[in-house]
Amino acid sequence: MKRTPIVAGNWKMNLLGSDVTAYAGSLAAAGPPETDLDIVLFPTPVYLAAVARAMPDWASVGAQDVHAEEKGAYTGDVAAGQARDAGAVWTLAGHSERRQYHGESNTEVARKAERALGAGLTPVVCVGETLEQRQQGETEAILDAQLAPVLAVLDAADTDTGAGGGAVLAYEPVWAIGTGLSASPEIAAAVHGHLRQALNDHCSGLGDAARILYGGSVNADNCEDLLARPDIDGFLIGGASLDPASFLRIIRLCTGSGSGPAP
Ligand code: PEP
């Protein structure tokens, strides 16, 4: 099955308003990708609406996180419906920094994914093991535990509404995030194969349709080898997405349209 690759930038808690509008301008000036590719940017919530307005129509915007509840007394949080209303069409769920610094459990991540689907957002559910877990041989068990409640949500969504067909997972080994030490294509491909098998086993045929991104120190030097692997359907990129020239370079490499500098 042909799956449209995704190149997504997670800006985390970086960039100011003037930076993000200039960024959108750089993207617009570069023009759309030369092959079928979904381009997504995840700004902080305060800039979500501005980025959604400024982006060219061939790029889209997502929230970095949404709350598991529909609305209510959750000071500082963002509801999925609000993110959708502000122009988001995607949301991250369960990024390792949310799991680490905000104590998000596997169940809570699944509830967020469910809420996102209900609000018309496509969740990009992030999973990944720490270095210690990998060294202990626990990678698959950790990923299976992270995935189990999410698979139930995706399966139900697929059955009930078809929305699960838009399911996206991101394999982000914690040891590769922000370290400059990307997973090798072999390691990433093995894990992606495992995740796809889990989707196939538990989500009635969703496995072939779901896109599985890799994230963790992706840059212009390693993206082509990673994307060449059959189960790697694109990237979630942190550091190398902060500079539009670097992000555009990765986009061009992913479309096979050259490695030259950004225009
Ligand atoms: C991330 O935080 O999702 C990420 C992949 O970051 P980086 O590309 O900087 O490793």
Confidence of residue 206 (pLDDT cuts 50, 70, 90): confident
How far apart are the CA of 166 and the centre of ligand 1, in A?
22
Enter the pTM of the model. 0.95
Residue of 97, 104, 129, 172 with catalytic role: 172
In this predicted model, what pLDDT tens digit does every residue of 141-150 receive, in sequence order?
A: 999 999 999 9
Q: Are 213 and 6 in contact (CB under 8 A)?
A: yes
Is residue 95 among the annotated active site residues? yes
3-state secondary structure 90-149: EEEECCHHHHHHHCCCHHHHHHHHHHHHHCCCEEEEEECCCHHHHHCCCHHHHHHHHHHH
Q: Which residue has the tokens 């993206």?
A: 223
Q: How many other β-carbons are positioned within 10 Å of the β-carbon of residue 164?
A: 25
User: Per the structure block, which two tokens stand in for 2?
Assistant: 């042909």
How far apart are the CA of 161 and the centre of ligand 1, in A?
31
Residue of 95, 104, 192, 194 with catalytic role: 95
In this predicted model, what pLDDT tens digit does every residue of 49-94 receive, in sequence order?
A: 999 999 999 999 999 999 999 999 999 999 999 999 999 999 999 9
Task: Evaluate: CB of 217 within 6 angstroms of ligand 1.
Answer: yes
What is the pLDDT, as a whole number, of residue 260? 47
- Rounded-to-integer distance, Cα 137 and Cα 241, Å: 31
In this predicted model, what pLDDT tens digit does every residue of 86-115 receive, in sequence order?
A: 999 999 999 999 999 999 999 999 999 999
User: Per the structure block, which two tokens stand in for 170?
Assistant: 């991101």
Residue 49 burial (10 A CB sphere; 0-12, 13-18, 19+) = middle
How far apart are the CA of 178 and the centre of ligand 1, in A?
5
